[in-house]
């Protein structure tokens, strides 16, 4: 009984990981396309649009990493989660700075 529940749990978590990673990749690609279109239109927000998309994608990828640590709790997985978390925090700071900087120059 316990082994069956563990198998079901692992299967659900693995599908969750795939879902989070797929959503993150889709958001990243969509944001890159949106930023590229904005760049060709001489839009000032193209860089900011890309930063926000990367930040959102990293949020989903962080969720995936957290799920990975649930089913494979070793130091390598914990280290990967910390690395993604540091990237996400760095992007959040960069986005905040870019919004503040861009907000002062727009009319």
CA–CA separation, 91 and 78 (whole Å): 20
pLDDT confidence of residue 103: 57
Domain limits, the chain: 2-105
Residue 67 has pLDDT above 60, yes or no: yes
pLDDT confidence of residue 107: 37
Model pTM above 0.85: no
Which residue blocks in 1-107 are alpha helix, DSSP H? Answer: 2-40, 46-71, 75-105
Q: How many CA atoms lie within 13 A of 99 on its CB side?
A: 10
Query: Could you tell me the two tokens for 26?
Result: 């889709």
Reported as a pLDDT band with limits 50, 70 and 90, residue 9 is very high
């Amino acid at each position: 009984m316990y082994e069956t529940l563990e198998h079901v749990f692992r299967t659900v978590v693995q599908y969750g990981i795939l879902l989070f990673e797929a959503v993150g990749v889709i958001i990243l690609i969509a944001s890159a396309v949106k930023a590229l279109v904005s760049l060709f239109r001489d839009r000032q927000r193209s860089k900011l649009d890309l930063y926000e998309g990367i930040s959102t994608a990293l949020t989903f990828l962080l969720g995936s990493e957290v799920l990975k640590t649930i089913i494979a709790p070793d130091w390598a997985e914990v280290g990967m989660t910390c690395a993604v978390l540091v990237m996400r925090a760095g992007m959040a700071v960069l986005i905040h700075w870019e919004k503040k900087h861009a907000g002062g120059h727009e009319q």
